[in-house]
Chains A and B, each alone.
Chain A
């Protein structure tokens, strides 16, 4: 059984609290910094579960690159403090609550139907060799397909944001 102690609980709380701050804080820059702290909290959880590799990738990619771009763009646009991010119209509020409840329900069902796959012990330390052999031999095609998907998305973004030249 995974021995849960105070460190694990406080890491989860850390990530959860900053996740809530991201949604409810009125200042976009503070929200972006909370997102960063949430990513770091996730990194800590991965570390406690025994995967140093995942922690490093989490910090390098999410905290070091993605969150920094969010902060950077928000600062560049110099956004004023918004009134609130909570939708005020009744319908949007209702739809939001339904969406949250539905997602929570789906996740609960998935987790409780697949308890066999839950980590009950610390993960074995996976070496980078085994990891990348799996990625580039066993799962080569799905991996390459996902990169194609990202490339397609990039091209689409450039196309959408491009100024249309009048005929």
Chain B
């Protein structure tokens, strides 16, 4: 009983500490990356190379005055940011950081919540994401917030459909919803040359999922929820200090989780990066650590990709976004699913 409790506690702390602890680093990378792409200097005053800038931000958020505007619905206004971060953190419980390992003769799974459903649990928990944003927009009692929240919600629901067609196709290919099984199958090699990553088996699905991630996490080019030229700042106009920081964190956690899911099903997940096999041969006990490092590196590359796209592609118009989601991505996703099913059926006969 106590052992079980301790096990869950340790897993929870680790799985929460890694994404929450890396948010300041991602922020700094985003700022310096943006500056680099735009040929600016970027924040370089606080600490060496400006590395303490996120720390300064944290102090700013903590010491700013808590303002609650008089026209908001107070109870919902206060719980909305908390709910937002909470819903964003939920899917983390189902994501594996490394392969199941043994302590003594007991098999330990790295996920906090281990069920037979794997990817479906993660997806179900992600589906609760829009509630925090909707509640914030409504509780702010402000037209800009309301419009931002409605836009964010409509766009998340629309692109969830395109993503779900990809997830079903992936589920058919690997024949299991368990993320560990998916990673194991991806580490086999295809024709002896390239790894059997999902991206080679499902190239169309991979592109759909990638576009879906950007729309789901409300990032440019799909950040119409906070289009500042039209809506000031969208659903978090009325929020300041730490309450605003919670929304900010929720957005980054959302990005991290969707990227982790993306690399897990399309880029071999915690499968070792090339060159690491040499270390494992000499030091077999380091494999789980190296697996976690591999996964985190892949997610870090995705995070850089987010920054890259942000400063390369301008924002869509809202009708273009909706047309892309419903009239382009969804039909492509359905056709992709149909082709996948037919190929699997023909190969099994």
Residues of chain A having any CB pair with chain B under 8 Å: 29, 33, 36, 52-53, 56-57, 59-60, 63-65, 68-69, 71-72, 75-76, 78, 125, 127-128
Of B123, B130, B134, B146, most buried by chain A (CB within 10 Å of CB) is B134
Which residues on the A side are within 8 Å of B137 (C-beta)? 75
B206 interfacial contact with A, CB 8 Å: no
Q: Is the CB of B117 within 8 A of A53?
A: yes
* A contact residues around B157 at 8 Å (CB): 65, 68-69, 72
On chain A, the residues within 8 Å of B128 by CB distance are 59, 63-64
Partner of A60, one of B115, B116, B127, B150: B127
Known: A59-B124, A60-B123, A60-B124. A75 touches B116 (CB 8 A): no
Nearest opposing residue in chain A for B122, CB measure: A56
Most buried by B among A33, A56, A65: A56
Q: Is the interface of A mostly helix, strand, loop or mixed?
A: helix
A-B contact count (CB 8 A): 58
B116 touches A128 (CB 8 A): yes
User: Which residues of the partner chain A approach B127 to less than 8 Å between Cβ atoms?
Assistant: 59-60, 63-65, 68
Mostly helix, strand, loop or mixed at chain B's interface? helix
Among residues of B, the one whose C-beta sits closest to the C-beta of A52 is B115
Residue of A57, A59, A64, A72 touching B154 (CB-CB under 8 A): A72
**How far is it, in angstroms, between the C-alpha of A53 and the C-alpha of B120 when the chains are bound?**
9
Residue of chain A at shortest CB distance from B83: A33
* 23 pairs from A and B in contact (CB 8 Å cutoff): A33-B135, A52-B117, A56-B115, A56-B120, A56-B124, A59-B127, A60-B120, A60-B123, A60-B127, A63-B127, A64-B124, A64-B127, A64-B128, A68-B130, A68-B131, A69-B157, A72-B134, A72-B154, A75-B134, A75-B149, A125-B116, A128-B117, A128-B177
Query: Complex Cα distance A128/B168, Å?
Result: 14
Q: How many residues of B contact A (CB 8 A)?
A: 23
Are B150 and A75 in contact, CB atoms less than 8 angstroms apart? yes
B116 touches A52 (CB 8 A): yes
Q: Quick one: closest B residue to A68, CB to CB?
A: B130
A29 contacts across to B, CB distance below 8 A: 138
Contact B177 A68 (CB under 8 A): no
Q: Complex: how many Å from CA A36 to CA B129?
A: 13
Report B263-292 CB contacts with A as 1/0, cut-off 8 Å: 000000000000000000000000000000
CA distance A29 to B131 in the complex (A): 12
Expressed in whole angstroms, the Cα–Cα distance for A82 and B145 within the complex equals 23
Residues of B within 8 A of A75 (CB): 134, 137-138, 146, 149-150
* Known interface pairs A29-B138, A68-B157; A36-B131 also in contact (CB < 8 Å): yes
User: Whose C-beta in chain A lies nearest to the C-beta of B139?
Assistant: A29
- Report whether A56 and B121 are in contact in the complex, using a CB–CB cutoff of 8 Å: yes
Asked if A68 and B153 sit within 8 Å, CB to CB, the answer is: yes
Known: A33-B135, A56-B121, A64-B124. A127 touches B116 (CB 8 A): yes
